[in-house]
């Protein structure tokens, strides 16, 4: 049996305002290591909500969540912060870089937080990641001086700095043109194939979804199919 990167059982989540409403309804999900999974579905079907639960940032849910074989449900906030820092990289729809820091620093910060490598090593590694996305020449610029596409690529580099076992993306290519989307996709594929990293993304981009290993389709807080074929 292949090792699981992520496993959820019966995840149910309610929104309480304005009325109690189940956004997620007993989600059972398994993602294998090295898999490239896309979650698709209409707006409001709960796919982003699910992603935030899977990322351990949202703790307000019922059911259980295992990440890399470790039970994440019920862990303290600080323990989850460490878990995110070391094993999950997150890419948002918007880049969310820290504008007061250079791009290089932005990429380095989660690495420095983890504290496994020396400052110099983290710096080298950050350079390497920036190079992967072709933005190494922007490394010393302040983050707010870059174009939107460049910023997003820096943000993806930041998510990869600690070589996380799982990379989660909430429409990571939403702000990228088709050329850059292609670059990012190729890279994601390379990460899964060569480094065995797992990727879970929420996307509206059908082409992007179509090229991933597996598509999970959601509707009304439930998973409709675990392996959708678009074409």
Q: Return residues touching another protein (CB under 8 A).
A: 48, 52, 55, 57-58, 77-78, 81-86, 90, 92, 96, 98-101, 105, 109-110, 112-115, 118-119, 158
Rounded least distance, CB 82 to another protein, Å: 6
Rounded least distance, CB 219 to another protein, Å: 20
Rounded least distance, CB 110 to another protein, Å: 4
Rounded least distance, CB 179 to another protein, Å: 26
Q: Which is nearer to another protein, 114 or 222 (CB)?
A: 114
Beta-bridge partner residues of 187: none
**Cα angle value 77/171/15 (rounded, 5°):** 50
Q: Which is nearer to another protein, 100 or 207 (CB)?
A: 100
For residues 139 and 131, the answer to whether their CB atoms sit within 8 Å is: no
| Residue partners of 103: CB distance under 8 A and separation at least 6 | 97, 130, 135, 138, 139, 140, 141, 142, 143, 146, 154
| Pairing status of strand 36-41 against strand 70-71 | unpaired
Rounded least distance, CB 231 to another protein, Å: 32
CA distance 65 to 72: 6
Q: Which is nearer to another protein, 101 or 127 (CB)?
A: 101
Rounded least distance, CB 42 to another protein, Å: 17
Q: How many CB atoms lie within 10 A of CB 132?
A: 17
Q: Which is nearer to another protein, 82 or 127 (CB)?
A: 82
For residues 210 and 34, the answer to whether their CB atoms sit within 8 Å is: no
For residues 70 and 60, the answer to whether their CB atoms sit within 8 Å is: no
User: Maximum CA pair distance of the chain?
Assistant: 52
Q: Which is nearer to another protein, 140 or 230 (CB)?
A: 140
Q: Which is nearer to another protein, 84 or 129 (CB)?
A: 84
Q: Which is nearer to another protein, 119 or 195 (CB)?
A: 119
Rounded least distance, CB 4 to another protein, Å: 22
Q: Whose CA is closest to 156, among 207, 85, 202, 106? A: 106
């Amino acid at each position: 049996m292949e090792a699981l990167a992520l496993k959820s059982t019966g995840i149910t989540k309610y929104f309480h305002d304005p009325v109690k409403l189940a956004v997620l309804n007993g989600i059972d999900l398994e993602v294998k290591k090295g898999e490239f999974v896309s979650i698709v579905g209409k707006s409001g079907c709960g796919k982003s909500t699910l992603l935030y639960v899977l990322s351990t940032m949202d703790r307000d849910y019922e059911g259980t969540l295992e990440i890399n074989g470790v039970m994440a449900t019920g862990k303290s906030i600080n323990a989850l912060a460490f878990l995110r820092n070391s094993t999950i990289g997150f890419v948002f729809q918007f880049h969310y870089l820290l504008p007061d820091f250079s791009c290089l620093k932005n990429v380095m910060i989660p690495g420095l937080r983890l504290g496994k490598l020396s400052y110099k090593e983290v710096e080298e590694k950050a350079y390497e990641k920036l190079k992967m996305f072709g933005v190494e020449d922007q490394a010393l610029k302040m983050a707010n001086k870059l174009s939107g596409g460049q910023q997003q690529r820096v943000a993806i580099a930041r998510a990869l700095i600690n070589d996380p076992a799982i990379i989660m993306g909430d429409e990571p290519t939403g702000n990228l043109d088709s050329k850059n989307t292609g670059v990012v996709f190729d890279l994601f594929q390379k990460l899964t194939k060569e480094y065995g990293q797992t990727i879970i993304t929420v996307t509206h981009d059908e082409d992007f979804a179509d090229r991933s290993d597996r598509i999970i389709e959601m509707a009304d807080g439930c998973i409709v199919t675990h392996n959708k074929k678009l074409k």
